[in-house]
Amino acid sequence: MIGVGISMAKRIRIKTGIDGVDELIEGGMPEYSQVLLAGGPGSGKTLMCFEYLYKSAHNGDTAILFSFEEDTKNIVANAKDAFTEFTDIDELIESKKLIIYGSEMSRAYMSRGEEKPRFAFSEMLTQLESLVASSGALRIAIDSISVIKLFIRDAFEYRDLSVSLISMLKRLKVTSIITMEMATPEKSSLIFEPEFFIYDGLIVMYSTGGSESRTPAIEVIKMRGSAHSFATVPYEITSGGINLLVLAGRSNRSR
Ligand SMILES: Nc1ncnc2c1ncn2[C@@H]1O[C@H](COP(=O)(O)OP(=O)(O)O)[C@@H](O)[C@H]1O
Ligand SMILES: [Mg+2]
């Protein structure tokens, strides 16, 4: 049969920069991947996006965060509070290596006062595309896609818009993390939403264990082009970044 035996060229890997996560996915996300990061409230999605972009910028690659949820000042203040070892955040922002567009930008496209809430999504995508193209950024995070779901209730329209977002990001040749709020942080109640499957990768942040002792843990459900781990790995949020605790019998604290 034609096609059998064709081996795929080795894909370039883009590091998430998160201690332990890259080890789960063969060294990083395949270049140009659009990866969905799903988790409950407070699981650390925004901080993980920030760490990915911060590390990229710190290593010389321009990175942009588009937040639909929080304003720029809050995002930076929270990240500085959590990650006190990231001492050059201000310099990276000043030099436009790390660019943060808070909800001030996306709010301009949302209106609630009319009969029906409206989100001018296509117009916003056009602006997003030109901002990414003019900055030369290669690493993007969008936090979170769930806000869009609040405005666009029709499941087919939501899926179509998600597909256009992903196509745009692929056209721009960026490697992105896009977050999604899960209704529950419990691993046992994870529901696979239809739109999960349009992304190249899916990483989930859960709370595991009973109500008495909750442990946050991370799992890679899908990563196209990667023989990824299926382990559910506990993590902690430390002043030096998010840190997966145990992987293949060793601590990931050591760098
Ligand atoms: N200074 C800190 N030290 C340790 N953990 C922190 C600190 N600041 C925030 N966190 C943790 O990060 C969580 C918020 O992370 P965030 O990325 O905003 O969550 P999400 O975006 O998933 O809602 C908090 O609930 C807390 O557990
Ligand atoms: Mg958040």
Task: Of 84-98, 182-196, 203-217, give the range with the top mean pLDDT.
Answer: 84-98
Q: Are strands 34-39 and 201-208 parallel, antiparallel or unpaired?
A: parallel
Dihedrals phi, psi of 39, to nearest 5 degrees: -175, 165
Task: Of 37-46, 149-158, 201-210, give the range with the top mean pLDDT.
Answer: 37-46
- Residue 247 is predicted with a pLDDT of 54
The helices-and-strands tally (H runs, E runs) of the chain is 8, 15
Closest ligand 1 atom to 41 CA: 23
205: CA distance to ligand 1 center in Å? 12
pLDDT digits over 137-191, tens only?
999 999 999 988 888 888 889 999 999 999 999 999 999 999 999 887 787 777 8
- Residue 209 is predicted with a pLDDT of 67
Assigned token pair, 72:
């720029």
Tokens 């179509």 sit on residue: 160
Cα–Cα distance measured from residue 194 to residue 212, given in angstroms and rounded to the nearest whole number: 32
Determine which residue's CA is closest to atom 27 belonging to ligand 1. 42
**Where do the domains of the chain lie, and which CATH numbers do they carry?**
13-251 (3.40.50.300)
- Residue 211 is predicted with a pLDDT of 64
- Residue 185 is predicted with a pLDDT of 76
- Residue 9 is predicted with a pLDDT of 63
Confidence band for 215, pLDDT divided at 50, 70 and 90: confident
Is the shortest distance between the CB of 81 and ligand 1 below 6 Å? yes
65: CA distance to ligand 1 center in Å? 17
Whole-prediction pTM = 0.92
DSSP assigned state of 240:
T
